[in-house]
């Protein structure tokens, strides 16, 4: 018998719709029931691709005895953390305060009817193991505590809310002297944290850290600091060769369980792969390494093949691929070596075996192989006694055969909800990679996603956060606005469309009106008209995704420069000022905000191009390859009704079909330039433009 989740759109909630647990979605019905019945709330937060969420579901939530106990003692609420990151943020913070360690998923929290947490953890096994109490025994003890220790719980709740409130910056904005050396100190700290043997930062489990790597690249392009480029290049190369990357299908998994990037947690998340497309494209500009281009091409193809809706009325990107298939983590991706030997010819196998680590001991559960690159193709060709071209041909034919066999396996589940925030990240990645590599199909993919969001999830001048099965709903969050705005800024530099600029401006206005703290600066995660919860965070710390406040400061500055709009730049500066004391003492975790600080101290130069294709596109291509850190807008002459800052009149004496350019800084624009070589010469003279030599 289905419970109260049967009408939800979230695939995660629907996975639990037939549990014997009487689950409710988060909402007034469940919360009111807890209040009227004076029952504590069991809040379970997870997501559809989460391996340990599946384990707990199979062990406990599908167990009739456990379900009966839960139904008797609690009001049970299921939350998809991807649809409701506001709720997830609050109770992950509460978990940390209560337990003095980070949480994760599944998150299992016990609340009073007033939504105040009094006990919690993550995964609980059915029976006691791993040093954890058995779930069914825990339920009775936690419920009993609610009734017998109500005064203690109420006091603890007050203290917890005070501690959560103290996580918010409360310093009123004042004049702050921003320090250039702070950026150097931040890079030096990252250098200390860098793993020189395997790449990345810190120990296992190893996450992808796109904000840190983006900051390193920014510092390299502006200062030519070689170590910043070396850290980024080495990390991305190690990841590309490791098992964190799907060597057959493209795309990156969520994190590595070891320090070597070898064995991943097999979820594939849209939010990881969008920023990685940008990183691999940008580091290719600096190094021209073929491996990086190959990673971008394979990942972009995977995105369009497996992660973008092909329904005619849609076009957005889906959220995740599951870690599990057939109830086993990684089963879709790992191999038996003998099976590979049977699939391939002997000539193909003698190349593939050393290349993908099949000549070594099993690396997955001591019996199977997860593919990683363990030797260079040049070394293999030399050892086998064939040419490099022939080795490449054998590798390519072998990959095709293995892909065909893998495609017949039972696939991991796909979460087909379309999240605006994660789409913004992928739109940016596809726009940048499509622009740099001249892949119009990738650009069109990004435009299709943005057009779908604008027509379907932009309603009455505000965004909705999620879409699935024809239903768009939930009030959008800070990340939705700023990540989408970031994607629009990249699309405008790829193929300028006036509708994109108008949409970006509308998003910025809602951002200022509905999310900004006008008193002290910064942006709340939820809008002013959002459902009132027990806490309203201002996220600034970079996690798997860049922080909402760091991204807000960055995109408002850039849009402010494009439109010559001081309100946007003032809000960005106020945000940086608010969090400046915190990031002055702890650099790691604030890299997106440090990136915004860098651009505030060194405002980007903008080049406006006016002309007609194909010359307009050729000028744009040359400039973007040579100057990856500046804003370049190539605006066709046919476009009219541009904002004042972009209305550049082409001189009447300019020949038909030619291109005109204006170099603009924070203080104004230089005179029109109509010769490409003259433009490049002026760019070289401008010492603040760093060319790729």
Question: Which residues lie below 8 Å from residue 590, measured CB to CB, with a gap of 6+?
Answer: 186, 540, 541, 542, 547, 550, 579, 582, 583
The full DSSP string for 638-667 is: T--S--GGG--PPPTTSPTT--EEEEEETT
Closest Cα to residue 238, out of 191, 272, 187, 201? 201
Type and span of the H or E element at 617? helix 615-626
d(CA 210, CA 195): 15
State the alpha helices, DSSP H only, in 194-289.
Answer: 210-223, 226-241, 270-287
Query: Residue 549 in contact with residue 539, Cβ under 8 Å?
Result: yes
Pairing of strands 606-611, 660-665: antiparallel
Query: Max CA-CA distance within the chain?
Result: 88
Q: Which pLDDT value is given to residue 131?
A: 86
Looking at the DSSP bridge assignments, the partners of residue 639 are: none
Beta bridge partners of 473: 466
The token pair that represents 140 in the structure block: 């009775």
DSSP-assigned states of every residue in 441-470: HHHHHHHHHHHHHHHHTEETTEEEEEEETT
Long-range contacts of 234-237 (CB under 8 A, 24+ apart): 234/196, 234/199, 235/199, 235/200, 236/199, 236/279, 236/280, 236/283, 236/292, 236/295, 237/199, 237/289, 237/291, 237/292
CA distances, 352 to each of 224, 358, 683 (Å): 38, 8, 47
What lies within 8 Å, CB to CB, of 690 at 6+ separation is 221, 222, 224, 627, 629
- Angstrom distance (rounded) from CA 250 to CA 154: 51
The secondary structure of residue 303, as a DSSP letter, is I
Query: What's the token pair of residue 421?
Result: 């925030």
Residues of the chain falling short of pLDDT 70: 1, 172-174, 652-657, 686-693
The kind and range of the H/E element at 570 are helix 566-585
Peptide bond into 267 cis (omega under 30): no
Residues 6+ apart with CB under 8 A from 349: 340, 341, 398
Return d(Cα 300, Cα 97) in angstroms, integer: 40
Q: What is the pLDDT of residues 582-606, one digit of tens each?
A: 999 888 899 999 999 999 999 989 9
Q: Which domains does the chain have, with CATH numbers?
A: 11-166 (3.40.30.10), 191-325+415-601 (1.50.10.10), 333-408 (1.10.10), 606-685 (3.40.30)
CB burial of 634-673 (b: ≥16 within 10 Å; e: otherwise) equals bbeeeeeebeebbebeeeeeeeeebbbbbbbeeeeeeebb
* 474 SS3 class: strand
pLDDT at residue 689, rounded to an integer: 44
- Residue 652: the pLDDT is 65
Distance CA(227)–CA(218), nearest Å, equals: 12
Distance from C-alpha of 139 to C-alpha of 157, rounded to nearest angstrom = 20
Three-class SS state of 113: coil
Peptide linkage before 205 cis (omega within 30 of 0): yes
User: How far, in Å, CA of 406 to CA of 404, rounded?
Assistant: 6
**CB count, 10 Å around CB of 300?**
26
Strand order across the beta sheet in which 268-269 lies: 268-269, 320-321, 414-415
pLDDT for 1 equals: 62
* Residues 427/444, Cβ–Cβ less than 8 Å: no
Which pLDDT score is estimated for 693? 33
Write down the pLDDT at residue 312: 81
- Residue whose structure tokens are 């396996």: 409
């Amino acid at each position: 018998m289905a419970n109260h989740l049967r009408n939800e759109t979230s695939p995660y909630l629907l996975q639990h719709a037939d549990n014997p647990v009487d689950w409710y979605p988060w909402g007034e019905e469940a919360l009111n029931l807890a209040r009227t019945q004076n029952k504590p709330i069991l809040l379970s937060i997870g997501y559809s691709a989460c391996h340990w969420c599946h384990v707990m579901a199979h062990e406990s939530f599908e167990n009739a005895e456990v379900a009966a106990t839960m139904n008797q003692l609690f009001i049970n609420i299921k939350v998809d953390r991807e649809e409701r990151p506001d709720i997830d943020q609050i109770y992950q913070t509460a978990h940390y305060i209560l337990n003095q360690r980070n949480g994760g998923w599944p998150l299992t929290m016990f609340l009073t009817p007033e939504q105040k947490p009094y006990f919690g953890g993550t995964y609980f096994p059915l029976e006691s193991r791993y040093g954890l109490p058995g779930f069914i025994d825990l339920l009775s003890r936690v419920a009993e505590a609610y009734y017998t220790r109500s005064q203690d719980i109420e006091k603890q709740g007050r203290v917890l809310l005070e501690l959560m409130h103290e996580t918010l910056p409360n310093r009123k904005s004042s004049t702050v002297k921003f320090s250039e050396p702070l950026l150097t100190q931040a890079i030096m700290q990252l250098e200390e944290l860098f793993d020189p043997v395997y790449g990345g930062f810190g120990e296992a489990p190893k996450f992808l850290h796109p904000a840190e790597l983006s900051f390193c690249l920014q510092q390299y392009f502006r200062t030519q600091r070689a170590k910043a480029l070396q850290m980024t290049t080495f990390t991305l190369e190690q990841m590309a060769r490791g098992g964190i990357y799907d060597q057959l299908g493209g795309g990156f998994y969520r994190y590595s369980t070891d320090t070597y990037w070898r064995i991943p947690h097999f979820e594939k998340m849209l939010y990881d792969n969008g920023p990685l497309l940008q990183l691999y494209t940008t580091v290719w500009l600096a190094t021209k390494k073929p491996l990086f281009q190959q990673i971008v091409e394979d990942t972009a193809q995977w995105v369009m093949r497996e992660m973008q809706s092909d329904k005619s009325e849609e076009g957005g990107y889906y959220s995740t691929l599951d870690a599990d298939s057939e109830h086993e983590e990684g089963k879709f991706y790992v191999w038996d070596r003998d099976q590979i030997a049977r699939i391939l010819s002997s000539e193909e196998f003698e190349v593939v075996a050393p290349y993908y680590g099949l000549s070594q001991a099993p690396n997955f559960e001591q019996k199977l192989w997860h593919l990683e690159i363990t030797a260079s193709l040049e070394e293999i060709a030399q050892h086998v006694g064939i040419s490099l071209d022939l080795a490449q041909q054998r590798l390519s034919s072998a990959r095709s055969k293995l892909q065909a066999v893998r495609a017949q396996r039972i696939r991991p589940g796909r979460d087909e909800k379309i999240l605006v925030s994660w789409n913004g990240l992928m739109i940016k990645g596809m726009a940048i990679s499509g622009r740099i590599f001249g892949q119009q199909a990738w650009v069109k993919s990004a435009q299709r996603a943005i057009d779908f969001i604008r027509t379907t999830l932009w309603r009455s001048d505000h965004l909705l956060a999620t879409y699935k099965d024809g239903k768009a709903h939930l009030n959008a969050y800070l990340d939705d606005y700023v990540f989408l705005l970031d994607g629009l800024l990249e699309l405008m530099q790829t193929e300028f469309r006036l509708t994109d600029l108008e949409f970006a401006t509308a998003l910025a206005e809602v951002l200022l009106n509905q999310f900004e703290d006008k008193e002290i600066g910064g942006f709340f995660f939820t809008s002013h008209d959002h459902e009132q919860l027990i806490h309203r965070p201002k996220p600034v710390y970079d996690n798997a995704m860049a922080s909402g406040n760091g991204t807000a400061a960055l995109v408002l500055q850039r849009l402010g420069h494009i439109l010559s709009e001081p309100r946007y730049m003032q809000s960005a500066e106020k945000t940086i000022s608010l969090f400046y004391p915190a990031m002055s003492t702890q650099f790691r975790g604030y890299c997106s905000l440090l990136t915004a600080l860098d651009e505030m101290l060194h405002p980007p130069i903008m080049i406006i191009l006016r002309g007609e294709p194909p010359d307009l596109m050729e000028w744009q291509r040359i400039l973007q390859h040579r100057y990856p850190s500046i804003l370049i807008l190539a605006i066709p002459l046919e476009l009219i009704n541009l904002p004042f800052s972009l209305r550049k009149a082409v001189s009447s004496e300019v020949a038909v079909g030619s291109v005109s350019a204006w170099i603009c800084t924070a203080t104004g624009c230089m005179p029109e330039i109509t010769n490409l070589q003259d433009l490049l010469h002026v760019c070289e003279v401008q010492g603040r433009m760093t060319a790729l030599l």
